[in-house]
Chain A
């Protein structure tokens, strides 16, 4: 029985359009001369790409920009003063501008690297790589609450059901490794949109993200990837048995049927994946110094360190989009310090060293060239205290994201907020713009990366988005 089928035949034979294309993805990578990158956009990349993949370090809850990378000396000078602000929450509720108490950062700032840019004591290790970073200080986004803003960050829409960023990337570029999923979200939270943040919505489900581990789950593994209650040999025999049944059942019909062939292929691919993926996800051949560098020996940094190391391994294996989550399932996730900004320190200590290790590791392996590292939250925080407390409220009107590698300007700073760090006043970059720019670096034009659904063409950036050319190397 011949299982060699061409993609063209497959397309000819399937009536239901894109859904069936998934079958071809299963086969892609095995058949020589078949470019998996071409299975979504008719012409693959829209232009020459500068990067092949993205690692997104998601700081869930909203890191405060004025306590991390957006240094505002004026805040200390005017500490405690009342000023009028366009507070996003109050605007949404009342449409009114309101007065708030400015609050200085509890942390000291100092200059790092040759570029001499400022960073606070929260991120001493990450800041050692500041010369690699392209800082975007004028970020702004949609959504005042975590749910909407988190969905906006991932899917480009706060309220509507839309495919997530990683799904669009995979749809546009396909996977580099057919034995592994092309889009992975490591330890995602189930709150604030949960699976929708790595879901494919109306894109074919093969573009959805694969969850590795999760909040509250100790092991970093893929669901149903393996079974441990059965010896390898027995599993092999069962696999052979099913292959025999399939062969007999396929032959019984005496007809050429692509859908059944694809099912047989997926059975075989699953078997290979079951063998290969655990190896990719196994740290046992990592050196002691690597484990130490990622902070795996320190209970404080162990969890995020493992995720970062996993990200590097997946990156090496050709996964397109790897999201490394730092968050939790609550409605006030991780960095959400409404009442106690000093608690930022706990979170910073958990992620800082692992992030620095990942940067160093990618660099030393030459991976930073074609990998984009994207660090950021769903929004920032206010430079003023929230009511009587020592915390800061959400701030979608101005915050900081940094990018590294993947053809972005090294050691560059783009945009700035006002003197207090509340609102972008120059070089503002909307989340849609960031999406457009990241796609651009992957060789995708956000205007042309479309999918027809319910009678119209959709894109990640809706009718918005601008490629921020100023930050491209």
Chain B
């Protein structure tokens, strides 16, 4: 019966199925599960870690997949990422990372997937994505993301702003039932204001001017504050604070490469604080100054220079994966923008949604897309940052234009003279015109140079007018890159000219970058050029469209002078099959001018002289062009485009595209995003009064700079992991005060400096203060504060009479190519010292200077023995004491030790010496003075002999507590 038969069949099929299922179970249990446990679970299971978001301890785990998508496509081993990973097919995805699985295990996995990846494991709990923290929707649960209430204005409320400010502080003290300390002594207030507003101490004379020779005249604090705010020292001091936040430096760590023009950005900051430029404008200029419109050339220059902010990162220019480098560059910019203006740790969202704050990865790439179109480097083996000629005032511009023009003319006349009637002077030797050579010839004049290369024509037979050499210096830091523009794809023989001579390197490394990759040819530059007395062949290479096609001459490990003269790309088709024939044909086709013995006739001599003159004027013209002002910047090159999410931050693992935009949690702050926003809109969004973070973050900074600690102690982090504000209403009031007074820094500084809260005395805590608020977060007293490294250094120079006070400009020695072991020898203020990442100025390292590689909101405060060692033994400190001793010795000789010491204490500590201090000093100098110590022997033991005693005394004073700390 068909029914029966049918049944029989189906039973048979079912049996077969069962059997196959049993086989699959057996296969899974015997081969796959043990392997998964042995090789994978350690990093990919719910009970351990879920690296890359992938779990392999359940079927759902691999079905859902990790950050890169599904791990297994059943039936398709070749399409399954898991199989590719265990086959080690993809260099960046090789699993397990400790070493390959045995071959038979890999084959078992392949078979398992091909057979449908049968997996009986059911998860006990469904795998969860490990996202935690505040979501965008719930962002406003955190205070900092709530909008600033701009409906009520401070001015409408009326009253004196300082008094209003004090009311906020006093209210918090009342709530906590804390007594406030009284006002500090006039001496202390003067010294505090001098250091806080200018970073320098008041001199004895200035103290006397403000509070009288005996220190008893009433102090006009408002007048003093105005006086200090109007001094250029104010801008210098506040600039240094901002420079911490923007990780300002003039070199990069790797290779110590120097940013010769970064100082213009620093001067922009000094000038901005002195001019009290509205801070919202400073934000726009720093983020998008290059895109802003301008009314005059000054404004244009200022804005261009300000954008250097984006280019100051400590970039790893030698990263070989250039697309990685590009994203790292943007990442660094985002991190600093986030820290500096928004108090956000945006960088955390590069690889995954922010673990704590409402910043999804999409937001990160929305912002990164905006920055990505601006280019900060030209890529080479060691990429190069971007310096641009500064647009100049008409006169200057025309001056440089004239020089360029004259230079062109002189060069033309030199060329003409050399060519004229084929006659060549003695010096002219043999010059081959690159234009006359076959193939594509790049002369050294068109090479891109890294490091300092010198032009020379001392040796015979060159291509073009001259060649360049590395001066046999700074091996490993210089490259010259010869890149033909738009080389037609195809095969070429690449040849290199190097003007041989006995002082050359025998091991000059020349790298050829082609479709075949990178290859290095070692050239002995002492041996004569084998081909046409000009060239050596570097080999035959293929070059593809849009592929790399350049030759880089390096001085890595060179054992002599390295020369770069020219590079020739000879199409293989152009060369005849027979090699020797080729050489000949090339040789005959070059119209090289040969050396002719010069005739000593008057005409020749005159020509010789003319040429010599021309060449020397050419040199001086070139030197004058070197002075042309440049600035460090980024270039908006475009195309402006959205970029995709980079999965786990990997540039080679791209996810979905993200439209450019801002941080979703903060809203658009009134900036339209209908059109994809550019850097200009980003700047507007950040500097908008309706951005809830910007004004709060900056007002908090000013408070922190004045009071020693912020209302939000974590100045750079207003996120959920940052500190909570001690005075939330006061912070919002300060933020509004800033906005209402056109973002004036000076205004806010003055409001704070005038307050009772700022002027309180440093004093002992009573029991309640000690118990409730031992660290004085509520400002019930003044804080003891230490002088930063700059103020210590500048004070010593001021007291020794050596401080050179002039505003702006670079003090970097000319021709500084690397920052290693740089000798800082300028006596200008610390803010103007060349800020090298590998060689910080004196005292900076020991005294907690900000790390110049990242945005620093609050410097570390350490008290370590190396600081005391530095003060005691640094030759620089001793030299200051020596110079100061000369000055005060004069004073002593015309008055008395007693008067001299009084003056010295006023200059150094801003107060009269205590009797015990004066006694110690006089005994140290071997003078009994007013000593109450009648034990002569003890006095003699304390005394130091000789002419150095005053120097040692001043040195000791520099080391003492009150010199280093501020009441």
Check if A317 is an interface residue, CB within 8 A of chain B: no
Q: Is B320 touching A191 in the complex (CB atoms < 8 A)?
A: no
Q: Is B356 touching A93 in the complex (CB atoms < 8 A)?
A: no
Q: Is A252 touching B914 in the complex (CB atoms < 8 A)?
A: yes
Check if B869 is an interface residue, CB within 8 A of chain A: yes
Check if A131 is an interface residue, CB within 8 A of chain B: no
Check if A293 is an interface residue, CB within 8 A of chain B: no
Among the listed A22, A86, A257, which residue makes an inter-chain contact with B862, where contact means beta carbons less than 8 Å apart? A22
Q: Is A338 touching B316 in the complex (CB atoms < 8 A)?
A: no
Among the listed A159, A191, A259, A266, which residue makes an inter-chain contact with B864, where contact means beta carbons less than 8 Å apart? A266
Q: How far is the CA of A227 from the CA of B959 in the complex (A)?
A: 15
Q: Closest Cβ of chain B: how far from A429's Cβ, in Å? A: 7
Among the listed B253, B721, B820, B959, which residue makes an inter-chain contact with A329, where contact means beta carbons less than 8 Å apart? B820
For A178, give the chain B residue with the smallest CB separation: B865
Q: Is A260 touching B961 in the complex (CB atoms < 8 A)?
A: yes
Check if A241 is an interface residue, CB within 8 A of chain B: yes
Q: Is A260 touching B784 in the complex (CB atoms < 8 A)?
A: yes
For residues 304 through 343 of chain A, which have their beta carbon under 8 Å from a beta carbon of chain B? 329-332, 336, 338-340
For residues 184 through 217 of chain A, which have their beta carbon under 8 Å from a beta carbon of chain B? 190-196, 201-202, 204-206, 210
For residues 328 through 369 of chain A, which have their beta carbon under 8 Å from a beta carbon of chain B? 329-332, 336, 338-340
Asked whether A274 and B99 contact (CB < 8 A) given A194-B820, A234-B952, the answer is no
Q: How far is the CA of A203 from the CA of B764 in the complex (A)?
A: 31
Check if B84 is an interface residue, CB within 8 A of chain A: no
Q: How far is the CA of A463 from the CA of B868 in the complex (A)?
A: 39
- B-chain residues with CB within 8 Å of residue A265 when the two chains form the complex: 863
- B-chain residues with CB within 8 Å of residue A338 when the two chains form the complex: 509, 520, 556-557
Q: Is A147 touching B320 in the complex (CB atoms < 8 A)?
A: no
- A-chain residues with CB within 8 Å of residue B956 when the two chains form the complex: 238, 241-242, 245
Check if A129 is an interface residue, CB within 8 A of chain B: no
- B-chain residues with CB within 8 Å of residue A427 when the two chains form the complex: 98-99
Q: Is A13 touching B520 in the complex (CB atoms < 8 A)?
A: no
Q: Is B476 touching A224 in the complex (CB atoms < 8 A)?
A: no
Q: Is B862 touching A206 in the complex (CB atoms < 8 A)?
A: yes
Q: Is B784 touching A91 in the complex (CB atoms < 8 A)?
A: no
- A-chain residues with CB within 8 Å of residue B914 when the two chains form the complex: 248-249, 252
Q: Is A148 touching B556 in the complex (CB atoms < 8 A)?
A: no
Q: Is B764 touching A254 in the complex (CB atoms < 8 A)?
A: yes
- A-chain residues with CB within 8 Å of residue B51 when the two chains form the complex: 463
For residues 496 through 530 of chain B, which have their beta carbon under 8 Å from a beta carbon of chain A? 507, 509, 517-522
Q: Closest Cβ of chain A: how far from B548's Cβ, in Å? A: 8
For residues 347 through 386 of chain B, which have their beta carbon under 8 Å from a beta carbon of chain A? 347-348, 355-357
Asked whether A266 and B476 contact (CB < 8 A) given A145-B320, A389-B520, A427-B99, the answer is no
Check if A98 is an interface residue, CB within 8 A of chain B: yes
Q: Closest Cβ of chain A: how far from B257's Cβ, in Å? A: 11
Q: Is A256 touching B764 in the complex (CB atoms < 8 A)?
A: yes
Q: Is B520 touching A387 in the complex (CB atoms < 8 A)?
A: yes
Q: Closest Cβ of chain B: how far from A262's Cβ, in Å? A: 4
Partner-binding segment picked from A33-41, A115-123, A452-460: A452-460
- A-chain residues with CB within 8 Å of residue B796 when the two chains form the complex: none
Q: How far is the CA of A254 from the CA of B868 in the complex (A)?
A: 24
* Binary CB contact string for chain B from 332 to 349 against chain A (1 if under 8 A, 0 otherwise): 000000010000010110
Q: Is B476 touching A331 in the complex (CB atoms < 8 A)?
A: yes
* Binary CB contact string for chain B from 938 to 967 against chain A (1 if under 8 A, 0 otherwise): 000111100010001101110111101101
| Main SS at interface, chain A | mixed
For A146, give the chain B residue with the smallest CB separation: B318
Q: Is B917 touching A96 in the complex (CB atoms < 8 A)?
A: no
Q: Is A245 touching B256 in the complex (CB atoms < 8 A)?
A: no
Q: How far is the CA of A256 from the CA of B348 in the complex (A)?
A: 41
Q: Is A429 touching B98 in the complex (CB atoms < 8 A)?
A: yes
Q: Is A93 touching B321 in the complex (CB atoms < 8 A)?
A: yes
Among the listed B476, B848, B878, B960, which residue makes an inter-chain contact with A245, where contact means beta carbons less than 8 Å apart? B960
* Binary CB contact string for chain B from 855 to 872 against chain A (1 if under 8 A, 0 otherwise): 000101111111111101
Q: Is B522 touching A267 in the complex (CB atoms < 8 A)?
A: no
Q: Is A190 touching B864 in the complex (CB atoms < 8 A)?
A: no
Check if A25 is an interface residue, CB within 8 A of chain B: yes
Q: Closest Cβ of chain A: how far from B40's Cβ, in Å? A: 13
- B-chain residues with CB within 8 Å of residue A239 when the two chains form the complex: 872
Among the listed B521, B774, B955, which residue makes an inter-chain contact with A238, where contact means beta carbons less than 8 Å apart? B955
Asked whether A255 and B320 contact (CB < 8 A) given A191-B820, A238-B955, A388-B521, the answer is no
Partner-binding segment picked from B10-18, B482-490, B709-717: B709-717
Check if A7 is an interface residue, CB within 8 A of chain B: no
Among the listed B774, B838, B872, which residue makes an inter-chain contact with A190, where contact means beta carbons less than 8 Å apart? B838
- B-chain residues with CB within 8 Å of residue A222 when the two chains form the complex: 869
Q: How far is the CA of A427 from the CA of B99 in the complex (A)?
A: 6
Asked whether A244 and B709 contact (CB < 8 A) given A25-B864, A148-B319, A454-B716, the answer is no
Q: Is A266 touching B709 in the complex (CB atoms < 8 A)?
A: no
For residues 209 through 266 of chain B, which have their beta carbon under 8 Å from a beta carbon of chain A? 253-256
Q: Is B869 touching A225 in the complex (CB atoms < 8 A)?
A: yes
| Main SS at interface, chain B | loop
**Interface size of A in residues (CB-CB distance below 8 Å):** 111
Q: Closest Cβ of chain B: how far from A242's Cβ, in Å? A: 5
Q: How far is the CA of A319 from the CA of B410 in the complex (A)?
A: 66
Among the listed A253, A269, A331, A339, which residue makes an inter-chain contact with B865, where contact means beta carbons less than 8 Å apart? A269
Q: Closest Cβ of chain A: how far from B356's Cβ, in Å? A: 6
Q: Closest Cβ of chain A: how far from B366's Cβ, in Å? A: 20
- B-chain residues with CB within 8 Å of residue A281 when the two chains form the complex: none
Asked whether A255 and B763 contact (CB < 8 A) given A94-B517, A429-B98, A456-B345, the answer is yes
Check if B776 is an interface residue, CB within 8 A of chain A: yes
Q: Is B820 touching A92 in the complex (CB atoms < 8 A)?
A: no
For B539, give the chain A residue with the smallest CB separation: A388
- A-chain residues with CB within 8 Å of residue B584 when the two chains form the complex: none
For A203, give the chain B residue with the smallest CB separation: B860
Check if B874 is an interface residue, CB within 8 A of chain A: yes
Q: Is B851 touching A201 in the complex (CB atoms < 8 A)?
A: yes
* Binary CB contact string for chain A from 409 to 448 against chain B (1 if under 8 A, 0 otherwise): 0000001000000001111111001000000000000000
- A-chain residues with CB within 8 Å of residue B917 when the two chains form the complex: 245, 248-249
Q: Is A455 touching B721 in the complex (CB atoms < 8 A)?
A: yes
Check if A219 is an interface residue, CB within 8 A of chain B: no
- B-chain residues with CB within 8 Å of residue A196 when the two chains form the complex: 253, 853
Q: Is A332 touching B476 in the complex (CB atoms < 8 A)?
A: yes
Q: Is A238 touching B944 in the complex (CB atoms < 8 A)?
A: yes
Asked whether A455 and B356 contact (CB < 8 A) given A204-B862, A238-B944, the answer is yes
For residues 88 through 110 of chain A, which have their beta carbon under 8 Å from a beta carbon of chain B? 89-96, 98
Q: How far is the CA of A340 from the CA of B316 in the complex (A)?
A: 27
Q: Is B476 touching A205 in the complex (CB atoms < 8 A)?
A: no
Check if B854 is an interface residue, CB within 8 A of chain A: yes
Q: Is A428 touching B97 in the complex (CB atoms < 8 A)?
A: yes
Check if B604 is an interface residue, CB within 8 A of chain A: no
Asked whether A330 and B475 contact (CB < 8 A) given A195-B838, A238-B956, the answer is yes
Q: Is B320 touching A93 in the complex (CB atoms < 8 A)?
A: yes
Extra pairs beyond A331-B477, A415-B99 (4, CB < 8 Å):
A204-B862, A253-B763, A425-B100, A429-B98
20 chain-A/chain-B pairs, Cβ below 8 angstroms: A16-B713, A89-B518, A92-B321, A93-B517, A161-B314, A245-B956, A249-B961, A250-B961, A252-B914, A255-B762, A263-B961, A270-B867, A270-B869, A330-B476, A332-B557, A339-B557, A424-B99, A455-B356, A455-B717, A456-B345
Instruction: Name B residues whose Cβ lies closer than 8 Å to a Cβ of A.
Output: 42, 51, 91, 97-100, 253-256, 314, 316, 318-322, 328, 339, 345, 347-348, 355-357, 475-477, 507, 509, 517-522, 548, 556-557, 652, 709, 713, 716-717, 719, 721-722, 762-765, 774-777, 784, 786, 820-821, 838, 846, 848, 851, 853-854, 858, 860-870, 872-875, 878, 914, 916-917, 920, 924, 941-944, 948, 952-953, 955-957, 959-962, 964-965, 967
Instruction: Name A residues whose Cβ lies closer than 8 Å to a Cβ of B.
Output: 12-16, 18-20, 22-23, 25-26, 86, 89-96, 98, 138, 144-145, 147-148, 158-159, 161, 181, 190-196, 201-202, 204-206, 210, 222, 224-227, 229-230, 234, 237-242, 244-246, 248-257, 259-260, 262-267, 269-271, 273-274, 329-332, 336, 338-340, 386-389, 415, 424-430, 433, 452, 454-456, 463, 466
